[in-house]
Amino acid sequence: MRIIAGSFRGRRLKGPKGTNLRPTSDRLRETLFNILGAALGDAVFLDVFAGTGAVGLEALSRGARQAVFIESSPEGNRLIRENLMLCGVAGGYRRIDSDVFTALRALARERFRADVTFLDPPYRWQPWEDLIGTLFRAGLAGAGATVVLEHHRKAAVPASGPGFRRVRTVEQGDEWLSFFELGTQP
């Protein structure tokens, strides 16, 4: 695993030793960031189910103003800390060691707003609509914000829900990216 582009380009990151964490592949990360492009400039990036922190670090490397990492596993939090140090990141980030819904509720109470949110839950995880809906209902992602969900191609990801709609899907083998924006159900 490595940082693909930007100010940390080429930095090697530490990865998980077991199979509890499934890092986003370099190829899929490159696809994601090629699509996001200029949307990252000075953006607030929310990395949910952050794992190793590679996606949030890539966002910082490419110009995001701030990255917030949400991860509940001890191994993931250790890897995020180590990878932040490997990249020499001293500021512009926040780590939240908590389950996702508790962390999102806390951020909503702070009136936190993300320009781009990346969700990478375990592939067997199910409450997609609750997760995506929470981001939009709580105001964590508002008008102009993008929410991206990495998921297995066979996952039953909703095309829309209360307050959001899927605007794009990118397929790369079994790994898919679904892009959501604020909107109403059709």
| Residue whose C-alpha is closest to residue 82's, from 25, 29, 16 | 16
- Give the neighbor-by-neighbor strand order of the sheet with 93-97: 93-97, 66-71, 44-48, 116-119, 146-152, 175-182, 164-172, 160-161
Asked whether residue 186 carries a pLDDT value surpassing 60, the answer given is no
Q: What Rg, from alpha-carbon coordinates, does the chain have?
A: 15
Domain range annotation of the chain: 26-182
Helix (H) or strand (E) holding 176: strand 175-182
CA end-to-end span of the chain, whole Å? 39
**26-182 CATH pick, 3.40.50.150, 3.40.228.10, 3.40.50.450, 3.40.50.300:** 3.40.50.150
User: How does pLDDT run across 50-109, given as a tens digit for each residue?
Assistant: 999 999 999 999 999 999 999 999 999 999 999 999 999 999 999 999 999 999 999 999
> Do 50 and 93 touch, CB atoms closer than 8 A?
no
